[in-house]
Amino acid sequence: MVPSSIPAAEGNGNRRASSAGPDDINMLGTPLPALRVDLSEDDLRESAYEILVAASGSMALSARSVSVRTKGGEKSLTSAAASHLKKALGLRSSGGSSSSSRGRKPYSTAEIIRDQMLISDQSDMRTRRALSRAVAGQATKCMEQMLVALELLQHIPASAFKDLNEHQHWLKRQLRLLEAGLLAHPLVRGDSGGVDALRLRQNLKEMYEKSSDTGKNTESMQALRSAAMGQATRPSKSEAGDVLHWIDGYPLNVHLYLAIIGALFDTLDECSVIDEIDEVMELIKKTWVVLGINQFTHTLCFMWILFRQFVVTGQKETDLLRAAESQMTDIQKDAKREVQPENLQLMTAILGTMQSWAEKRLLAYHDSFPEGANGAMEGLLSVSLLATEVLQQDISQDYRHRQKPEVNLASGRIEVYVRSSITTVFAQMMESVDTQRKAVQREGEPILALAMLANDSSTLATKEVEKFSPVLKKWHPCAGGIAAVTLHACYRREIKQYLSRLNGLTPDAKQVLEAADELEKFLVQIAVEEGADAEDGGKALIREMPPFEVDKIVGDLAQKWVEERLEKLGDWVDRNIEQEQWEPDALREHYAPSAVEVLRIADETLDAFFALPVSQFPEVLQDLVTGLDEALQSYASQIIAPCGTKNVLVPPIPPLTRCKTKKSWFGMGKKVGEAKDGPRPRSHNHKAPLTNLEAFTVPHMCVRINTLQHIITEIEFTEKKAHFGWQKDPTIHSKTSKTKVTPHHSYNSVSAVDANFYRTRETAKAGIEQLIDVAAYRVVFGDLRDVLWDGLYIRGVTNARIGPVLEKLDAQLGVIADSAAKGLRNRVVGALMQACFDGYLLVLLAGGTSRMFTLSDAHMLSEDLECMKDLFKADGDGLPGDMVDRAVATLTQVLSLFSLTTNELIQRFSAVNGSAKAGIKPSLPPTTANWSVSDANTLLRVLCYRCDDTASKFLKKNYHLPKCE
Per DSSP, helices labelled H in 90-136 are: 109-116, 121-136
Helices and strands (H and E) in the chain: how many: 38, 0
What pTM value is reported for the model? 0.56
323 in a structural domain: no
Q: Are residues 487 and 600 in the same domain?
A: no
pLDDT of the residue at 681: 36
Q: Are residues 601 and 627 in the same domain?
A: yes
| Region for residue 39 given its phi and psi (left: phi exceeds 0; alpha: psi -120 to 50; beta: otherwise) | beta
CATH number, domain containing residue 823: 1.20.58
Q: Are residues 746 and 817 in the same domain?
A: no
pLDDT of the residue at 666: 34
Q: Rounded to an integer, what distance in angstroms lies between the CA atom of residue 20 and that of residue 175?
A: 33
pLDDT of the residue at 726: 63
Of the residues 513, 543, 573, which one is the last residue of a structural domain? 543
Q: Are residues 68 and 147 in the same domain?
A: yes
Q: Are residues 150 and 248 in the same domain?
A: yes
Q: Are residues 441 and 586 in the same domain?
A: no
Q: Are residues 703 and 742 in the same domain?
A: yes
Backbone angles phi and psi of 733, in degrees to 5:
-105, 150
Neighbours of 25 (CB within 10 A): 14
Per DSSP, helices labelled H in 641-784 are: 698-724, 758-778
In 89-215, the DSSP E strands lie at: none
403 in a structural domain: no
Q: For the chain, which ranges sit under pLDDT 50?
A: 1-3, 7-18, 59-61, 63-82, 96-106, 395-406, 441, 444, 504-505, 550-554, 661-691, 729-749
- Taking CA 47 as the corner, what is the angle to CA 127 and CA 208, rounded to the nearest 5 degrees? 90
Q: Rounded to an integer, what distance in angstroms lies between the CA atom of residue 275 and that of residue 100?
A: 10
Q: Are residues 792 and 726 in the same domain?
A: no
Q: Are residues 483 and 448 in the same domain?
A: yes
| Region for residue 902 given its phi and psi (left: phi exceeds 0; alpha: psi -120 to 50; beta: otherwise) | alpha
Q: Rounded to an integer, what distance in angstroms lies between the CA atom of residue 727 and that of residue 744?
A: 8
Closest CA to 310 of 299, 318, 302, 298: 318
Domain containing 853 equals 784-959
pLDDT of the residue at 254: 96
The three-state secondary structure class of 733 is strand
166 in a structural domain: yes
Q: Are residues 466 and 582 in the same domain?
A: no
Q: Are residues 520 and 461 in the same domain?
A: yes
| Cβ 746 vs Cβ 726: under 8 Å | yes
Identify the burial level of 553 via C-beta atoms within 10 angstroms of its C-beta, where 0-12 means exposed, 13-18 middle and 19 or more buried: exposed
Structurally, the chain folds into a number of domains equal to 4
Identify the burial level of 425 via C-beta atoms within 10 angstroms of its C-beta, where 0-12 means exposed, 13-18 middle and 19 or more buried: buried
Q: Are residues 434 and 526 in the same domain?
A: yes
